[in-house]
Amino acid sequence: MENDLTLVRGRIFNIQRFSIHDGPGVRTIIFLKGCPLRCKWCCNPESQSYKQETIVTAGISKEVARDVTVGEVMQEIEKDRAYYRRSGYGGITLSGGECLWQPEFSEALLREAKERGISTAIETTAFADMNVIRRLLPHIDTVLMDIKHTNSQKHKEFTTRENELILENAKNIAREARTLIIRTPVIPTFNDTREEIAEIAKFACSLEGVTEMHLLPYHRIGSDKYAGLGRKYEMAHISPPSKEHMNELCQVVKSYGLKCLIGG
Ligand code: SF4
């Protein structure tokens, strides 16, 4: 018989199997709808609004959101359990969108996974009330948290939100989470100078227990989706950073005593 957790409902737009980038081992990524930010470079623009939307791909219209129960998502997750075991320490990762904006669903899904012995991670901006984050933390093994910029005005210019809440929450999450990894999307014209990455690395290494930072190079995958949603992609003129530049930025991060991965 299903328990109460499996009946909790949420809104997602994708479940991606066999990911090796969003947490340790082989992961199943559950993409939730709704995000408080509007990053100009976002490769999942269909994640941003909580509302149902229509996206047109190759002339075919399709609805973006799927309303599901925790039980339905767990059925999908269970198909991948053998792969988690084989990869040693795989599991699920809640992504988005922002999973903290559907706290009941996220908490129930994370709890249910943990009760079944499955490892859990979230990818988050941490732009939420710390009390909401505290509800979820006991059920999370790894928090992958974005720090996009240390300058609040620039953060706002490119994401529509200031960063004070994010930086404050980072300090609390560092103290209270099992494992916190800081991730930074490297976006030319926004944060790709040595100085800007150094500021983020300096902040990351000041966080209790944080030893690792991931640099995620800007890419244009997903830019076509903007047209499909009837929106304009504002970063069309931006080229991805070179490998050499990413390596240089990685050295900057390492100079702060942090382990650095490109891609993550
Ligand atoms: S935080 Fe992530 S999901 Fe939200 S707008 Fe930015 S890139 Fe997109």
Residue 125 · residue 146 · CB < 8 Å: yes
Q: What tens digit of pLDDT does each residue of 35-94 get?
A: 999 999 999 999 999 999 999 988 999 999 999 999 999 999 999 999 998 887 899 999
Q: What tens digit of pLDDT does each residue of 244-258 get?
A: 999 999 999 999 999
Q: Which atom of ligand 1 is nearest to 38's Cα?
A: 5
pLDDT tier at 3, thresholds 50, 70, 90: low
Long-range CB pairs of 82-85 (<8 Å, 24+ gap) are: 83/18, 83/26, 84/25, 84/26, 84/118, 84/119
CATH 3.20.20.70 is the classification of domain 9-188+220-239: yes
The pLDDT value recorded for residue 260 is 98
**Distance of CA 69 to CAs 3, 53, 98, Å?**
12, 20, 18
Q: What is the pTM of this model?
A: 0.96
Ligand 1: residue whose CA is nearest its atom 8 = 42
Domain boundaries, the chain: 9-188+220-239
User: How much distance in Å is there from the Cα of 37 to the middle of ligand 1?
Assistant: 6
The pLDDT value recorded for residue 21 is 81
What tokens were used for 165? 């809440």
User: How much distance in Å is there from the Cα of 47 to the middle of ligand 1?
Assistant: 8
Pocket of ligand 1 (CB under 6 A): 35, 37-39, 42, 44, 47-48, 96-98, 125
